[in-house]
Amino acid sequence: MGESSWTAEQRNPMGMDGRAVRMNMENQRKTGLVLGMKMAWNKEMKMELMKMTVTLMSLCERKKQSLKTFEFKSLEGRCRPYNGLNKS
């Protein structure tokens, strides 16, 4: 078969190798907040993630909690306290 119609840039917009991508995702997971911003290639998805982030930050602000103590459980941006043991 021929080469996929996707360019390397679309597959890997940050130009990272596979190991760097995995390391980066692991680092994000460790903070308890997985946004996947680097995985959001299209504009609509980026906008959704930005809205979720702002919503989460204002929620944390109201509850006087650190952003690091929350994690996303769904795309709607619902969050619950993160105890460091939750596996996503």
Ranges of each domain in the chain: 8-81
pTM flag (> 0.85): no
Q: Mind giving me the DSSP string for the chain?
A: ----SS-HHHHSTT---HHHHHHHHHHHHHTT----GGG--SHHHHHHHHHHHHHHHHHHHHTT--GGGEEE-STT--EEE--S----
Q: What is the pLDDT of residues 3-26, one digit of tens each?
A: 455 554 455 555 556 666 666 666
Q: What is the pLDDT of residues 31-77, one digit of tens each?
A: 544 555 555 556 777 777 778 877 877 777 776 666 555 555 444 44
